[in-house]
């Protein structure tokens, strides 16, 4: 099974900057909305100076995207922001856990098996996440040979 070990990201996501026009194209949120949300302190561009073109970080782009998603689901702006920020706060934990536990992935014709490492301290069982041919997902615990 292939080993996954990329500690260094190949792209510094902090260097991915987007202008307001790009943000509009990508997220579908209008410039008017972006400026209004900013005035309400829901979002904030990178080190904003007066009168200069706004620049948004990738992180803010994601936040904007999610706020808009919740709005389209019928939430009020305020509620959408709350949901988006809550989700936003969960991402680091998800990334950390996945990075720590993901040991490998094996893709075959009928299914994909994700290796999540040992199930117990005795190292007699291992946990696998399975995606079958129908897209169904489930866990599987197998004895270590």
Partner DNA sequence: TTTCTGACA
Partner DNA sequence: TGTCAGAA
Would you tell me which residues interact with DNA (CB under 7 A)?
19-22, 24, 30-33, 35-36, 50-54, 71, 77
| Distance of closest approach, residue 16 Cβ to DNA, in angstroms | 16
| Distance of closest approach, residue 58 Cβ to DNA, in angstroms | 16
φ, ψ of residue 103 in degrees (nearest 5):
-100, -20
| Distance of closest approach, residue 88 Cβ to DNA, in angstroms | 18
| Distance of closest approach, residue 57 Cβ to DNA, in angstroms | 14
Q: Which of 114, 112, 120, 122 has the alpha carbon at shortest distance from 98?
A: 114
Q: Which value, to the nearest 10 degrees, does the dihedral of the CA atoms of residues 113, 117, 119, 125 take?
A: 70
Closest CB to DNA among residues 24, 44: 24
Closest CB to DNA among residues 33, 60: 33
CA atoms within 13 A on the CB side of 57: 13
Closest CB to DNA among residues 78, 90: 78
Closest CB to DNA among residues 40, 124: 40
Q: Name the token pair of 95.
A: 């990334």
Q: Containing H/E element for 121?
A: none
DSSP state of 54: P
Closest CB to DNA among residues 58, 77: 77
Q: What's the length of the chain?
A: 145
| Distance of closest approach, residue 50 Cβ to DNA, in angstroms | 6
């Amino acid at each position: 099974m292939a080993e996954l070990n990329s500690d260094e990201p190949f792209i510094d996501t902090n260097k991915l900057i987007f202008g307001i026009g790009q943000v509009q194209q990508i997220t579908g949120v209008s410039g008017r909305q972006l400026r209004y949300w900013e005035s309400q302190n829901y979002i904030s561009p990178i080190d904003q100076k007066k009168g200069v073109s706004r620049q948004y970080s990738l992180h803010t782009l994601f936040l904007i995207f999610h706020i808009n998603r919740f709005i389209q689901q019928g939430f009020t702006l305020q509620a959408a922001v709350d949901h988006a920020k809550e989700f936003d706060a969960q991402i680091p934990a998800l990334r950390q856990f996945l990075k720590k536990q993901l040991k490998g992935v094996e893709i075959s014709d009928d299914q994909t098996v994700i290796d999540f490492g040992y199930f117990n301290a005795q190292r007699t069982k291992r946990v696998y996440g399975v995606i079958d041919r129908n897209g169904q997902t489930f866990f599987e615990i197998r004895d270590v040979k």
